[in-house]
Amino acid sequence: MAAESGKIDPMHQFLIEPMFGKDWAIAGHNIAFTNSAMWMVVTLIALWVFMLGGMKRELIPGRWQVAVEGFIGFITDMMRTSIGPEGRKFTPYVFSLFMFILISNVMGMMPTGIFGVHPFTVTSHLTITGVLAILSFSIVLIVGFGRHGFHFFSLFVPHGTPGYMIPLIFLIELFSFMIRPFSLGLRLFVAMTAGHILMKVLAGFVINGIHAGALTIAIVTIPSFVLMIGITLLELLVCAIQAYVFALLTSLYLNDAINLH
């Protein structure tokens, strides 16, 4: 949290900073290890530990194993519903995508600031969400053209389209298809950024109001604190919803590439 003259900067939490100095470069390109990279590593370690602890295959599963199997079953069912039997082969990718986004979102909500370590939400940066979206979109294109060849372009001409409308409908559908990676990455980025900004603004009201007298505490600080608790709970729900939406849309896009619906 950055504060100057009693003011709290809600955007400071998104600042990417090098962890071990700035003079790390190869061929003129800065490769410094940043706080964003550190939290991505922490996310991957948390995901690895979560999966390792839940893959024991005990005859009487514990809570940890039940949790892991529950997430796997959830994504497997989603892929089967969205794509059909062929969706099973893409389950590992969509599951990894879902869990990475979910854990990244939740990690950014952890109260590690009380230990002097400011949490960083990597999904609040468009570069991260954009790369995930482009990766998913690239897989869709590879699957679509690899499976159907140039017949994949029939996806942009709905059945029953009149002949004279085909050029216009084709362009509209093509544009709609090409905008998918942008909307996919932008949706997650905006949702996480907006929520964290709102929480930081409310936290500023609470912190500054405490030192402004009893009347301000009653009118500003207490209502802001109560609202901040509600927004925090809502943001935890958004963390899960956004991971689900990203995974669901990826599965639907894969369905288009496989089944040409």
**What are 92-133's pLDDT values in tens digits?**
999 999 999 999 999 988 887 777 778 889 999 999 999 999
pLDDT per position as a tens digit, 50-105: 988 777 777 777 888 888 989 999 999 999 999 988 889 999 999 999 999 999 99
Q: Give me the number of domains the chain comprises.
A: 1
**pLDDT tens per residue across span 127-171:** 999 999 999 999 999 999 999 898 898 888 888 778 888 889 999
Residue 41, number of CB atoms within 10 A of its CB: 11
What's the pLDDT score for residue 4?
45
Q: What is the Cβ-side half-sphere exposure of residue 170, based on CA atoms within 13 angstroms?
A: 9
Confidence of residue 261 (pLDDT cuts 50, 70, 90): low
At 176-214, the pLDDT tens digits run 999 999 999 999 999 999 988 988 888 888 888 887 777
**Alpha-carbon torsion angle 204, 202, 221, 119, nearest 10:** -60
Closest CA to 13 of 112, 97, 101, 133: 112
The range of the structural domain enclosing residue 162 comes to 2-259
pLDDT at residue 245 in the model: 96
Count of beta carbons in the 10 Å neighbourhood of residue 203: 17
Please report the sign of the dihedral spanned by the C-alpha atoms of residue 203, residue 204, residue 210, residue 215: negative
